[in-house]
C-alpha cells in the first residue's frame, strides 16, 4: 500500500463515506466498456470541444467547492468564536479548569483532556484485538471462513451510533458499576488510574469500551486489506528459509505492511476522536478532569452537542461553544497532518 492509496483511503474515510474500501476497489475495477452500443449522456448537442471545455469547468468548480468547504467552515467558526477570544486569551481558554458559563468562566481543559482520555482508552482496548483479528483473517483463515466472517464484522460498521449508546447504557455501564469497578479497586486500587469511589458506571472506561467496539470493524477491515496486499512471494521467501508462520508474519509481513497497518489505526482513531452520540450517552458528562478510568468525563463533542441551542441568553456562551468546535476541528486536523507526515516517511523508508 503506497502513500497515495493511504491518502485516498484517509480522505474517503474523512469525507464520511462508510464503504470507502468498496469505493477504492470500484475505482480500480471499473473499466469503460468498449463493446456493444454506447450509452450517451443526454447533453445538448454543441461541438465536442465545447462540451469538453464545459465538462472540465463544471467539474473543476464542483471540486473547488468541495475543497473549500472545510477551510470555510473553519473560518466561520473562527469568526463566531472571536467574541470570546477577544475577552479571554486562547491560552487561558485552553488551560482553564473551570466551566461556569454564568460566571463567565469558560475553561476548556476538562473537555480537551476528557476527549483524549476517552479516545485513548478506546484505542488501547481496540487496537490489539483488532490487529490480531486482521492477522488471523489475512494469514490463517481459509478463504471460505474469511468470506463468512468479514461480512459479519462489517455489520458492526453499519450500526447507528445511538444504538451503540443504548447498548452501552444497558450493558457496559451496569457491568462497570457492579463488576469492573469494584474488582479493580480491590485488586488494582493502589494505582490511581484504577481507583474508584462510589462509581456509577458512567465513566471514561464505558466511553472507551463503546468506542472500541465501534472502531473494531474499521481497523480490522483496513488492516486485513493491507496485510493481504503483501506479495505472496515475500511470505514464501521467509517460509522457504524454514521460518514458522508466526515468524514470517512478525518479521516480514507486518514489517512490510507496517505503514498501512498504522494507517488503519489512524483511521480508527479519527473515527473515535470525533464520535459524539454513543460517547455522550455513557461517559457521564461531568466537567472535571478525570483521574481514573472509572471517573466520568466530558469530551468536547459531548459539550457541544449537549449545550448548543440551550441557554443561549448567557453572554459569550455561543462563542465559547463555537470556540470548542474550532478547537476540535483543529485537533483533528493537526492529528491528520501529523499522521500523514509519519505515514509518508514510513512508506519512503520501507
Residues that bind other proteins (CB under 8 A): 142-143, 231-244, 247, 251-252, 255-256, 349-350
Nine cell digits for residue 225: 486489506
- Closer Cβ to other proteins, 98 or 236, answer by number: 236
* Helix or strand holding residue 24 (H, E): helix 20-29
* Helix or strand holding residue 341 (H, E): helix 317-348
On whether the CB atoms of residues 183 and 267 are closer than 8 A, the answer is no
* Angle between the N-to-C axes of helices 204-228 and 254-274, in degrees from 0 to 180, rounded to the nearest 10: 140
- Residue 242 CB, shortest distance to other proteins, in Å, is 3
- Residue 68 CB, shortest distance to other proteins, in Å, is 39
- Closer Cβ to other proteins, 1 or 282, answer by number: 1
- Closer Cβ to other proteins, 4 or 247, answer by number: 247
Nine cell digits for residue 332: 483533528
3-state SS, 124-185, equals: HHHHHHHHHHHHHHHHHCCHHHHHHHHHHHHHHHHCCHHHHHHHHHHHHHHHHHHHHHHHHH
Greatest alpha-carbon span in the chain: 80
- Residue 154 CB, shortest distance to other proteins, in Å, is 22
- Residue 89 CB, shortest distance to other proteins, in Å, is 48
- Residue 131 CB, shortest distance to other proteins, in Å, is 18
Radius of gyration, CA atoms only, the chain = 24
- Closer Cβ to other proteins, 4 or 244, answer by number: 244
- Closer Cβ to other proteins, 235 or 271, answer by number: 235
- Closer Cβ to other proteins, 255 or 345, answer by number: 255
- Residue 275 CB, shortest distance to other proteins, in Å, is 34
Interatomic CA distance for residues 22 and 25, integer angstroms = 5
Amino acid at each position: 500500500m503506497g502513500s497515495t492509496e493511504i491518502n485516498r483511503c484517509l480522505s474517503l474515510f474523512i469525507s464520511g463515506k462508510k464503504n470507502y474500501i468498496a469505493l477504492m476497489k470500484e475505482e480500480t475495477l471499473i473499466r469503460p466498456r468498449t463493446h456493444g452500443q454506447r450509452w450517451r449522456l443526454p447533453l445538448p448537442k454543441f461541438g465536442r470541444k465545447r462540451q469538453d471545455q464545459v465538462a472540465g469547468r463544471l467539474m473543476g468548480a464542483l471540486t473547488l467547492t468541495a475543497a473549500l468547504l472545510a477551510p470555510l467552515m473553519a473560518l466561520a467558526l473562527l469568526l463566531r468564536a472571536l467574541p470570546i477570544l477577544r475577552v479571554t486569551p486562547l491560552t487561558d481558554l485552553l488551560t482553564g479548569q473551570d466551566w461556569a458559563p454564568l460566571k463567565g468562566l469558560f475553561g476548556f481543559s476538562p473537555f480537551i483532556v476528557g476527549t483524549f482520555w476517552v479516545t485513548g482508552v478506546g484505542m488501547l482496548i481496540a487496537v490489539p484485538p483488532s490487529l490480531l483479528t486482521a492477522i488471523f483473517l489475512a494469514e490463517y483463515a481459509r478463504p471460505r471462513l474469511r468470506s463468512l466472517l468479514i461480512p459479519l464484522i462489517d455489520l458492526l460498521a453499519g450500526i447507528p451510533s445511538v444504538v451503540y449508546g443504548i447498548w452501552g447504557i444497558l450493558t457496559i455501564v451496569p457491568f462497570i458499576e457492579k463488576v469492573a469497578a469494584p474488582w479493580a479497586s480491590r485488586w488494582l486500587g493502589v494505582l490511581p488510574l484504577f481507583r474508584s469511589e462510589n462509581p456509577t458506571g458512567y465513566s471514561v472506561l464505558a466511553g472507551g469500551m463503546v468506542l472500541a467496539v465501534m472502531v473494531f470493524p474499521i481497523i480490522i477491515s483496513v488492516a486485513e486489506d493491507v496485510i493481504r496486499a503483501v506479495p505472496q512471494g515475500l511470505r514464501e521467501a521467509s517460509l522457504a528459509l524454514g521460518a514458522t508462520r508466526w515468524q514470517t508474519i512478525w518479521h516480514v509481513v507486518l514489517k512490510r505492511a507496517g505503514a498501512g497497518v498504522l494507517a488503519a489505526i489512524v483511521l480508527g482513531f479519527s473515527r473515535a476522536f470525533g464520535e459524539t452520540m454513543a460517547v455522550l450517552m455513557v461517559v457521564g458528562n461531568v466537567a472535571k478532569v478525570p483521574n481514573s478510568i472509572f471517573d466520568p468525563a466530558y469530551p468536547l463533542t459531548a459539550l457541544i452537542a449537549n449545550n448548543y441551542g440551550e441557554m443561549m441568553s448567557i453572554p459569550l456562551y455561543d462563542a465559547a461553544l463555537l470556540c470548542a468546535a474550532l478547537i476540535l476541528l483543529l485537533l483533528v486536523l493537526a492529528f491528520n497532518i501529523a499522521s500523514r507526515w509519519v505515514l509518508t516517511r514510513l512508506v519512503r523508508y520501507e
